[in-house]
Amino acid sequence: MADGAMALAHEARLAQARAKAAATPLDAFQVEEIEHFTSDTLWPWFERLRAEDPVHYTADSEYGPYWSVTRYADIVACESDVARLSSSQKYGGITLFEPPEAEDPAQREAQRDETRANFIALDPPRHDAQRKVVAPRFSTPALQELEPLIRSRAAAILDELPIGEEFDFVDKVAIELTSQMLATLFDFPFEQRRILPRFSDMLLSGPADTVEENQRRQAEMFMTLNMFIPLWTERTGNQAGRDLISLLANDPATDGGGQPEKYMSNIILLIVAGSDTTRHSITGALLALNQHPAEYEKLRGNPALLESAVPEFIRWQSPVAYMRRTALEDLEIGGKGIRKGEKVAMWYVSGNRDETAIERANEFIIDRARPRQHAAFGFGIHRCLGQRLAEMQLRVVWEEMLKRFPVIEVTGEPRRLRSNFVKGYEYLPVRIAR
């Protein structure tokens, strides 16, 4: 199981964070700081907000002023209020970060151009029309067709793992499984599949330490997206194509006709969404089971508990930390007055630990009575399109792991993604006992 020294070190970090959060005035809270996420010490900050100021205003941050919504019920209410709380790129989109406003008027207009936005950064009716284009790939028949393929691939990946040697679980299992799935969904060149999750990590990581590294990242991401242009061109007109590229390239709702740059935003969304929920929840589940050995033993003794364990893995990990909305008019959330034009961050990571909505929310329990009561997939029209695919991949890979390995032991500290938007992992050292 997880080394005792690691557990003690984590508890020490949490204790320091708890003391700091208790001593910091609420008006000085900066819950969005990436260091809270890379050190896994965000929890005391959100705990205090839920208790004392659940709809909290941050007047000054690196992203400018914004509101934090931290309780489950308020998050559900915000997600349901699509008429007054917008996801649209026109108003800044779904993240607190916004690129600096361009000096050139034409460039400024392009930054807010909805025709270049992906469907998660649109409001109805354009959101609904674009989401509908790719929905068939995530239907019940499509998922039933995919399950045997996912299982055979998971089995092949697991059968190649070294026994008795330390290895990186993120690289060998989580990235490999999800990159293979992404390549299948896009019908992307299989041998180049791993550039897809790499693209996602570069996009979501904080700024690099040097200008040169930022430029290198931008060039690599540009090269990755350029690979989709000939695929899009080849598949335009192929109405029978069932992969995501064919679906996007052949529906007028994408505004793609002859303009691949307008199609790329949805490709970016699908790369990130198709990679991150599954990849980081697979890793987060293994880490959590090591940190809670009684739950690991319970699952090994009864693998049928995966039915409730899988949504608990996702709740506990909360791979998408938040989503942002913009107020289209003055309104009230949780008794606080929000002004037109203000940013609102719905913190899923906090809603998923809300004791007023989820019983024993700060405990990892694989056999919960209501395991799907969580905020990790969002709610309403923006609820995660790939939810059932993510859950199926997690279930299948864990079924196959439990068949093969009594225990996969975490042997060192994880390295977490430098992001406060996607809560994930870059590295996790593990060992399978002989």
Q: Provide the pLDDT for residue 111.
A: 55
* 299 close to 384: Cβ distance less than 8 angstroms: no
Across 252-261, average pLDDT: 57
The pLDDT tens digits of the residues spanning 34-54 come to 999 999 999 999 999 999 999
CA separation for the pair 307, 171 (Å, rounded): 26
CA separation for the pair 29, 90 (Å, rounded): 28
φ, ψ (nearest 5 deg) of residue 56: -115, 140
Q: What's 332's DSSP letter?
A: E
Judged by average pLDDT, the poorest of 82-96, 142-156, 230-244 is 230-244
**Which are the contacts of 398, defined by CB distance < 8 A and separation ≥ 6?**
282, 285, 303, 306, 309, 310
pLDDT for 205 beyond 90: no
- Looking at every residue in the chain, the average pLDDT score rounds to 91
pLDDT band at 113 (very low <50, low <70, confident <90, very high): low
Q: Which residue has the higher pLDDT, 278 or 343?
A: 343
> What are 168's two structure tokens?
């990186």
pLDDT band at 101 (very low <50, low <70, confident <90, very high): low
pLDDT for 284 beyond 60: yes
Across 190-219, average pLDDT: 86
Half-sphere exposure of 96 (CA within 13 A, CB side): 26
Place of tokens 């050292």: 429
pLDDT band at 7 (very low <50, low <70, confident <90, very high): confident
pLDDT band at 1 (very low <50, low <70, confident <90, very high): very low
Across 241-263, average pLDDT: 72
pLDDT for 256 beyond 50: no
Q: Which residue has the higher pLDDT, 279 or 5?
A: 279
Q: Provide the pLDDT for residue 261.
A: 66
> What are 109's two structure tokens?
């207009």
Other C-beta atoms within 10 Å of 200: how many? 26
pLDDT band at 59 (very low <50, low <70, confident <90, very high): very high
Q: What element of type H or E holds 397?
A: helix 387-404
The pLDDT tens digits of the residues spanning 383-432 come to 999 999 999 999 999 999 999 998 999 999 999 999 999 999 999 999 99
Judged by average pLDDT, the poorest of 76-80, 233-237, 251-255, 327-331 is 251-255
Reference 390, options 84, 155, 181; nearest CA is 181
Judged by average pLDDT, the poorest of 160-164, 185-189, 209-213 is 209-213
The pLDDT tens digits of the residues spanning 134-164 come to 888 899 999 999 999 999 999 999 999 999 9
CA separation for the pair 395, 151 (Å, rounded): 10
pTM higher than 0.85, yes or no? yes
* 322 close to 352: Cβ distance less than 8 angstroms: no
φ, ψ (nearest 5 deg) of residue 285: -65, -45
* 283 close to 424: Cβ distance less than 8 angstroms: yes
Q: Provide the pLDDT for residue 239.
A: 80
The pLDDT tens digits of the residues spanning 15-24 come to 999 999 999 9
Q: Provide the pLDDT for residue 339.
A: 98
